[in-house]
Structure 1
Amino acid sequence: MAKQVELIFISSSLVCSSSPASFSKLELNSWDLRALKIVPIQRALIFPNPLAQPKQFLIQALKTSLSRALHFFPPLAGRLTSTAHGGDMASFLLDCNNAGADFTHAVASAVSISDIIHPTYIPEIVSLLFPSSVAVTNYAGIAKPLLAVQVTELADGIFIAFSANHAVVDGNSFWHFVKSWSEISRGAESISKSPVFNLAAGDDTLIHLPTLEKNLVSPSQSPQRVFNFSREKLDRLKEKANSEAGTDKISTLQALMAHLWRSTVRSQNTNGSSSCVLVIAIGARARMRSSPDAYFGNASYAATLAISASDLLEGGLGGAAVKINELISEQGDETARRAAEEEVRFDEVGRKGSGPPPLIIGSSPRHDVYGCDFGWGKPVGVRSGKVHKVEGLVFVFPAAEGGGIDLEVCLAEETLRAMEIDAEFVTV
């Protein structure tokens, strides 16, 4: 039975930058514009109770340090603006007008850290601890805050939840901001890595504008759970994949993605002739020679691999990992540029056709999640929100234990239960 939770909201306010931005508007790139159709990035960090700080002081200190952090990241205190050009065409800009980020303080005194991180399936409690003040879709960021933070006091800890408009940030930019905020919260006068912005220049990009008020992500009610892979398990997976494939080029993450994909297909009892699709979010910063690592905005695209269920399963771990390795090896400067130049379209996201849903891999174990120390120690866990999760969506996070990886997986309950007893999957 789900635990009954009383969530008490103490306060809510807009936090503005401590000083105005040196520029007023930013032009959105094509990847930013494509994100108008989907939902915000939602992530949360879980911390044990700070021992030396009264909660009231902690909340005020977080608001003050957030205001200072927004000085370095003015887009997150701004709003989207749109201009209609007739014929269902429109252009969008990011107005760094310092309208403010939303900050909410709440208390859930009956909820402990163990209630959040110990259950097999991620409990509904988690979704209640995320801010509700932001847009349901990124398009609505015209009127809503682009960043919202909810700090919830737990019985034995602090849950800091973030919701950031995906038309303004991708995963790299998001964690760049959170890490920088945590540095300021610890007392730093400046941040260790300054963001790089693409200032507006020339004419606005025109796009065909459908009814974006309608969420184009098909929501799923599928449960979510976290599968943890220790450093030792990952080493064994990588060794097995390379051994089977007769190579040394398969990375740890590629072996893990192949391992997860094959178990998912086995657990879905997929017909052998069915096409199984893997979608991987590819970071463009390291691939595009002109894109700095500190670029603040969206710089990622999707690469897709399709294979029949029979070939996927009969080819073994090594065979699947080689296919993934080949796909990722093809992603270079030219491929990333072509992806950036593709026409901006707004198609529905989610299951299409009668086959199994695609497995969609997002986030990255390279994000420095556990380096986000706000002054009272490192987090003990990370979770994502449940805003319109699609079946088949997987977020990859570093594990709390050094060198490990956590997979936060959204799949049908019968698939997850089958994976839990899939001997090849659980005994690495």
Structure 2
Amino acid sequence: MVQLESVQLLCSRSIQPAAAASDIDPPTRYELTPFDGVMRIALYQKRILFFERGDSRMDFAAVVAALEESLRWVLVSFRPLCGRMVVDQDLSSGLWIDCSGETSVQFAEAQTAARLEDLGDFEPSEFCDSLVEIGCSPKYPWDPKLPLLFVQVTRFGCGGISLGIAFSHQTMDGVSAWNFMKSWAERARSRGTSPLPRVSCYAYKPPELLEQQLEEAARMVGLALGIATKNTIKPKLGVKKFKATREVIQALKTSLSSFSSFELVCADYWRRTVAAAVQAGFLDNADDCYFAILVNCRGRIASMPDSYFGNAITGTRVRAKICELLGGGGICNAAQVIHEGIAGLRDVEGSVLVINKFVEELARNGAEIPAHKPGQSVLVVSSPRHPIFECDFGFGRPVGVTFGTNDLDDSKLYLFPAADGNGMDVTVCMRVEALDKFV
């Protein structure tokens, strides 16, 4: 195991956007939406990319200078990341980003004697957490002095590089985060010649809904399962990384051609997670089990463009009997309920409003999400569609990606595109007793 102390912070500084986004002064206040409010108490998200330094002619100082300069320019379009989060005392007023004072992100340089090969399959670890060090454990209510984005570039002993970000989940979701990273990479790789992206910031306003519509949407709520609560004590968890290759997915599609690759991979790993929990004695065949799916609302709401910046995800949760998943035809049963859950998620505005009310209640009272047995409720996050391995900053494509250990939860699946382009990587997080049974 690589030691935490092997990462040495060299320096850290504030980075401001290069210029105003237009001739007109940019907004000093960004009102967030119910999509962002859903993430009110969600922790900062960490994502770390690893590079082997294909262009070894470029020394580390030059890499840092190029990253810093391109970051300053891309922040012109992603200006809300430079503000500070404000939590109104009246929670019904929501969250907003203040850009009237200091507008900056934090940029750090570090080095380590460790080698990329020491990290194996780039599973989340405390060492990887130190590759984007925040310096504190930010929790709700948010400190208005806290930057919304931390960046750290770390030089490895083998000449490799990691580039990590830690960002406020109230400010953006995974789609926005990888759009930001891809845009930054394009600017860095082109040495400043690529145009700045057009970004639509927090323009969405939800409609007023009738009580009946709210009740209907409440039945679709699944997103809250992935939100950390104030008083939760986490059990001892472990992680394992698996690969769902194109060949494996195609074999599943041979007899289940009516389902998408995403639905089949989710169905396969839902069954395997539940089976491991049963083997560990946490569940029995008579129990119900649940699967929660996060859905990108860009393209599902007419007023929301693909370039929408912020949070735009909602969730749905499906249910099945464990005996239906583990018996004959189990993967078909799992894929069918997942398919129906996604297809049935039509009233996304209503779903978000309901979840937002639930999260506000958590924030007020420190209430807990209703408990389930270990393995009974599985949540899948991230996406194999994220442009992770398109993020070439001018020194080669990434060779790996990982995320922060603060995001680990029992019975949670993390889907990323595979680094070699062959299918997708699936990271499974479970209680260690159940993970030992996972096959």
TM over 0.5: yes
CA distance in 1, matches of 2:103, 2:296: 30
Q: TM-score, normalised by structure 1?
A: 0.86
Q: Secondary structure at the match of 2:118?
A: helix
- In the other structure, the counterpart of 1:208 is none
Report deviation, 1:214: 7.5
The one-letter code matched in structure 2 to 1:99 is T
Of 96, 112, 115, which residue of structure 2 is paired with 1:112?
Answer: 115
- In the other structure, the counterpart of 1:224 is 239
CA distance in 1, matches of 2:414, 2:60: 31
1:395 partnered with 2:403: no
Q: Secondary structure at the match of 1:411?
A: strand
- In the other structure, the counterpart of 1:303 is 316
Q: Decide whether aligned partners of structure 1 residues 396 and 349 sit closer, same or farther in structure 2, where only a CA change above 3 A counts.
A: farther
Larger mean Cα displacement after TM superposition, 300-309 or 91-100 = 91-100
Any unmatched runs of 5+ in structure 1? Answer: 202-211, 243-247, 423-428
- In the other structure, the counterpart of 1:369 is 388
Report deviation, 1:5: 4.5
Larger mean Cα displacement after TM superposition, 134-143 or 47-56 = 134-143
CA distance in 2, matches of 1:9, 1:306: 47
CA distance in 1, matches of 2:148, 2:94: 18
- In the other structure, the counterpart of 2:336 is 322
The one-letter code matched in structure 1 to 2:411 is G
Of 168, 175, 193, which residue of structure 2 is paired with 1:165?
Answer: 168
CA contact (8 A) 2:291 2:377 kept: yes
Q: Decide whether aligned partners of structure 1 residues 219 and 61 sit closer, same or farther in structure 2, where only a CA change above 3 A counts.
A: farther
- In the other structure, the counterpart of 1:209 is none
CA contact (8 A) 2:200 2:308 kept: yes
CA distance in 2, matches of 1:132, 1:198: 26
Report deviation, 1:123: 4.3
1:27 partnered with 2:31: yes
- In the other structure, the counterpart of 1:264 is 273
CA distance in 2, matches of 1:42, 1:355: 25
CA distance in 2, matches of 1:154, 1:172: 28
Q: Secondary structure at the match of 1:344?
A: helix
The one-letter code matched in structure 1 to 2:64 is I
CA distance in 1, matches of 2:369, 2:393: 36
- In the other structure, the counterpart of 1:344 is 357
CA contact (8 A) 2:229 2:369 kept: no
- In the other structure, the counterpart of 1:140 is 142
Report deviation, 1:340: 2.7
- In the other structure, the counterpart of 2:220 is none
CA distance in 2, matches of 1:96, 1:249: 48
CA contact (8 A) 1:364 1:397 kept: yes
The one-letter code matched in structure 2 to 1:250 is F
- In the other structure, the counterpart of 1:185 is 188
Identity %: 26
Report deviation, 1:13: 0.7
The one-letter code matched in structure 2 to 1:19 is A
Of 265, 272, 288, which residue of structure 2 is paired with 1:275?
Answer: 288
Q: Decide whether aligned partners of structure 1 residues 298 and 354 sit closer, same or farther in structure 2, where only a CA change above 3 A counts.
A: same
- In the other structure, the counterpart of 2:15 is 15
1:60 partnered with 2:36: no
The one-letter code matched in structure 1 to 2:142 is A
Q: Decide whether aligned partners of structure 1 residues 57 and 217 sit closer, same or farther in structure 2, where only a CA change above 3 A counts.
A: farther
Report deviation, 1:133: 3.7
Report deviation, 1:228: 1.1
The one-letter code matched in structure 2 to 1:136 is P
Report deviation, 1:24: 1.8
- Cα deviation per residue 1:397-421 (whole Å; 9 max; x = unaligned)? 00012241001221122322222xx
Report deviation, 1:191: 4.1
CA distance in 1, matches of 2:289, 2:228: 31
CA contact (8 A) 2:2 2:119 kept: no
Report deviation, 1:35: 0.6
Task: Give the root-mean-square deviation of aligned CA atoms.
Answer: 2.6
1:92 partnered with 2:111: no
CA distance in 2, matches of 1:108, 1:268: 38
Q: Decide whether aligned partners of structure 1 residues 351 and 381 sit closer, same or farther in structure 2, where only a CA change above 3 A counts.
A: farther
CA distance in 1, matches of 2:368, 2:70: 37
More RCO (CA 8 Å, sep 6+): 2
CA distance in 2, matches of 1:53, 1:302: 44
CA distance in 2, matches of 1:389, 1:118: 17
1:76 partnered with 2:81: yes
1:129 partnered with 2:145: no
Q: Secondary structure at the match of 1:58?
A: helix
Q: Decide whether aligned partners of structure 1 residues 227 and 112 sit closer, same or farther in structure 2, where only a CA change above 3 A counts.
A: same
Q: Secondary structure at the match of 1:415?
A: helix
CA contact (8 A) 2:20 2:76 kept: yes
CA contact (8 A) 1:2 1:123 kept: no
Q: Decide whether aligned partners of structure 1 residues 61 and 137 sit closer, same or farther in structure 2, where only a CA change above 3 A counts.
A: same
CA distance in 2, matches of 1:36, 1:384: 20
The one-letter code matched in structure 2 to 1:37 is I
The one-letter code matched in structure 1 to 2:251 is R
CA contact (8 A) 1:138 1:165 kept: no
CA distance in 2, matches of 1:376, 1:351: 47
Larger mean Cα displacement after TM superposition, 187-196 or 405-414 = 187-196
Report deviation, 1:349: 6.7
- In the other structure, the counterpart of 1:51 is 56
Q: Decide whether aligned partners of structure 1 residues 134 and 122 sit closer, same or farther in structure 2, where only a CA change above 3 A counts.
A: closer
CA distance in 2, matches of 1:116, 1:384: 13
Q: TM-score, normalised by structure 2?
A: 0.84
Report deviation, 1:308: 1.8
The one-letter code matched in structure 2 to 1:291 is M
